[in-house]
Structure 1
Amino acid sequence: MKELEDIIKTKTDIALAKKTVLNISLTNVNFKDSISHVLKSFDISIEQFNVLRILRGQHGKPTNLQDIQDRMVSKMSNTTRLVDKLILKGFVERFICEDNRRKVEIFITKKGLEALQSIDPKVLLVETELTAALSIEELTTLNTLLTKLRK
């Protein structure tokens, strides 16, 4: 890792770095709160919604807990607990592979797909409202810059 002196040249750089991190953090909280509010009416969390979208992306093929965990937005999520809750709602099924009893296969159910069909338009509306202040060009630039920060 670079030494602090190599990265930061002035007090202005320090202040701008702090302001940027704070702004991104506040925006993240705002976005999560808005999306959580929509998902609350469907009795699911953002993390459960993420699991459902991951499973839908499998197009009917099974996946396992590790693959879901690897693709989660929040790596701190307890994937086993999330899947268990989705099973109780009837959105997900879990099967133990008969050939290898240690292998657990997870599928999204028809009910889970139907739930996503109801949820997706409402989440899309909130996402669109949250980003409406920016032009397409600004959104493209913002996405490029945020991706650059994560590398």
Structure 2
Amino acid sequence: MSIETDIKQSKFRNPHHKAALNLLFTANWLSNSQACLLKPYDLTPQQYNVLRILRGQYPNPIRVNDIIERMLDRMSNASRLVDKLLLKGLAQRTECLHDRRAVDVVISEAGLNLLAELDNLQDHWENKLQQLSGEEAALLSDLLDKLRSTSETSC
């Protein structure tokens, strides 16, 4: 479907305006789709992102501040997300040997098992992108990188 059909708008100020709206609409479409995939597992996309960061760091612990730097949604409250994962038994706190004020986090065995189960669902979810060829997907990714490299990210 076209952006014109999806948002019921036929006129845009210019091609850049149309591209920006299309990008925002598509990002929300992907985010909502992933949220639906994770809902039966009582996970938000942000919690899922933290779990994947923890798995990437495993078996080494990681500080909450380092998690924030790696998150896709940097506006999320990483401390709160980690607390929720701790309550669900998907992560564990460990002592930070270098700084007693800092909190180190490591993924639990239950977290690893959940991610292993979700990997198959994530693969299926990513099939939405199979409408693009590998070359098109690479070009899209390069164009998005280019867009972010020319823009300031602070408010």
Q: Tell me if TM exceeds 0.5.
A: yes
Note the alpha carbon deviations across 1:101-128, whole angstroms, 9 max, x for none.
2121110000000000011110121111
Identity percentage over the alignment? 41
Q: Which amino acid aligns with 1:122?
A: L
Q: Residue deviations 1:93-151, cap 9 Å, x none?
A: 112336632121110000000000011110121111x2122111111111111111110
Q: What does 1:38-53 correspond to in 2, within 5 Å? A: 38-53=37-52
CA distance in 2, matches of 1:17, 1:96: 49
1:31 aligns with 2:48: no
Answering whether residue 87 of structure 2 is matched by residue 88 of structure 1, we say: yes
Matching of residues 1-151 of structure 1 within 5 Å: 15-97=14-96, 100-128=99-127, 130-151=128-149
Cα distance in 2 between the residues matched to 1:31 and 1:116? 19
After superposition, the Cα gap between the structure-2 partners of 1:98 and 1:134, relative to the gap in structure 1 and judged at 3 Å, is closer
1:142/1:99 Cα in 2 relative to 1: closer, same or farther (>3 Å)? closer
CA distance in 2, matches of 1:100, 1:33: 38
Q: CA RMSD in A?
A: 1.5
Amino acid at match of 2:137: L
Cα offsets for 1:5-51 (capped at 9, x unmatched): xxxxxxxx951110000000010011001111000011100000000
The answer (yes or no) to whether the contact 1:38–1:122 under 8 Å persists in 2 is: yes
Shift of 1:85: 0.3
Q: Return the TM-score normalized by structure 1.
A: 0.87
Aligned residues: 138
Q: Distance in 1 between matches of 2:30 and 2:111?
A: 24
TM-score, structure 2 as length reference: 0.84
Unaligned ranges ≥5, structure 2? 1-11, 150-155
| Bigger Rg over Cα | 1
Does the 8 Å CA contact 1:42/1:119 hold for their aligned counterparts? Answer: no
Alpha-carbon separation, structure 2, partners of 1:46 and 1:40: 9
State the partner residue of 1:5.
Answer: none
Instruction: Give unmatched runs, 5+ long, in structure 1.
Output: 1-12
1:96/1:102 contact within 8 Å kept: no
Larger RCO (CA within 8 A; separation ≥ 6) = 1
